[in-house]
Amino acid sequence: MNIDEYMSYDATGLAQLVADKQVTPAELLDLARRRLAEVNPKLNAVVIETADAADRQVAGELTGPFAGVPFLLKDLAQEYRGYPTTSGCRALRNLPEPRNALVTDRFLAAGLVVVGKTNTPELGAKGVTEPDLWGPARNPWDTSRTPGGSSGGSAAAVAAGVVPAAGANDGGGSIRIPAATTGLVGLKPSRGLAPYGPQTGEPMFGMAVQGVVARTVRDSAGLMDAIVGPNPLADYQAAMPAQRFVEAVGSRPGKLRIAFSAHSAISGAPTAEAAAAMTEAAAVLTELGHEVTEIAPPYDDKALAQTFLTLWFAQLAGQVDEICERTGAGNDDFEADTLAMVELGRSGGTVKALRALGEINGYTQAMGRFYESYDYFMTPTIAQAPIEVGALTTAAPVKVGARVAHRLHGGRLLLASGVVDQMIEENLGWVPYTQMANLTGRPAISVPIHWTADGLPLGVQFNGPLGSDGALLQLAAQLEEARPWIGRFPARP
């Protein structure tokens, strides 16, 4: 098998070749490494290689539905014993993990061979992957553009053909945004299905979930089957799916009622490309026999962004405090932007965070009423084509000011300065559609239906009611069949 043949298969297909003894896990590992060596100097997608562990895996007996298939873990909340989980942060770069995360154990039990760990923004705190520690990840469709965040390294590696799928997680769009920018499938599952721990309980007040980015719907389904399951150490047990996801994608949905909108109170009227993505997706859905209706958004995304960021800042402040206590890290071990967000979290106080938690119920109720009339809510996943690397970089004087504000506990001054509104406009303005699913715990999926006139992916997102993960994958499989995307690869960077 050569690299072009290797890249033509998804994970399910490669696993079948291994099972049929047409190729060995060692051969696949060699191909993944060769492809990584070819593209990573340009993409900076993989920041830690796990060579010794991968060699041990292929030398042993591999079992499971994806036995022998090369795979990457995200270097955030997917801990791998013996290797650091840096989370893109200097303070964590030299701390090997004593044990695996539960989700990592489940990836390994599925027979996946871990080749390395992927680039992520510091503590997953941005929608672009440009940490000071590792430098920016780049999009293989156009290396001047971002692959999004926070699972940007995973998405870049999969889109470039290093591996057919990779680990990801999503606290505000971190699976769906990178999938949308790189032409992949990205399912953010319902809250409680995919396991966290044992290192932590559910992060971000339950908003963050584990998952993958993949090139095909059947891979997304099969890999979710591999990690979804009861966790006796969890705080609660979500209802498990009645049917395996790979079985769900084997059939097609009946006629669906799908409402859509590309309008955003943050971004205003949709960009031409976001509008084109909706027009194209609506046409395909109509061809497939579904009822498609344009509506006004069922919630105020600007108000939702305020709620989301209040909780984000609060949890980040606690996370940084914990890292400092555990490692002895100081301010210089964190990025200036992170320290500014920490100070905003501290200055908001407990009451503001608790009030924001209470506000989630309003969005949940609004979406509950929406689902009484419609099956899914469709939006663009991102509001414009993938932005350029460095477009959101904070100016040097502002970084100095952020460090001073943190040192002087000047968060109230930051709040009064209007910096939060500025962060919403700049950082969420190009990704205003993804946070709702995290706040309400509902599933959402991004699928690569649309490419811009310049040949860049711009994904389309479907939000579903609680527990509709399998049905979302089923719809995605129907769209994949109608508009196949697996054969689309960027030119070799």
Task: Choose, from 74, 117, 126, 188, the residue flagged as catalytic.
Answer: 74
Per the annotation, the verdict on 468 as an active-site residue is: no
Judged by DSSP in three states, 454 sits in coil
Whole-number Å distance between alpha carbons of 41 and 46:
9
Contact call for residues 211 and 77 (beta carbons, < 8 A): no
Judged by DSSP in three states, 46 sits in strand
Task: Choose, from 174, 261, 267, 446, the residue flagged as catalytic.
Answer: 174
Whole-number Å distance between alpha carbons of 484 and 481:
5
Contact call for residues 335 and 122 (beta carbons, < 8 A): yes
Contact call for residues 228 and 241 (beta carbons, < 8 A): yes
Per-residue b/e over 351-379, b at no fewer than 16 CB within 10 Å? Answer: ebbeebbebbebbbebbeebbeebbbbbb
Which among 45, 178, 60 is positioned nearest to 108, based on CA atoms? Answer: 60
* CA quadruple 78, 217, 381, 363: dihedral sign: negative
Per the annotation, the verdict on 446 as an active-site residue is: no
Whole-number Å distance between alpha carbons of 388 and 139:
9
Per the annotation, the verdict on 352 as an active-site residue is: no
Task: Choose, from 87, 117, 126, 150, the residue flagged as catalytic.
Answer: 150
Provide the greatest CA pair distance for the chain: 65
140 backbone dihedrals φ, ψ, rounded to 5°: -65, -20
First to last CA, the chain: 22
Ranges of H-type helices in 198-297? 217-227, 245-248, 272-287
Whole-number Å distance between alpha carbons of 469 and 246:
11
What one-letter code names the amino acid at 23? V
Whole-number Å distance between alpha carbons of 242 and 469:
11
Residue whose pair of structure tokens reads 């290093």 in the numeric block:
162
Q: Which residues are the active-site residues?
A: 74, 150, 174
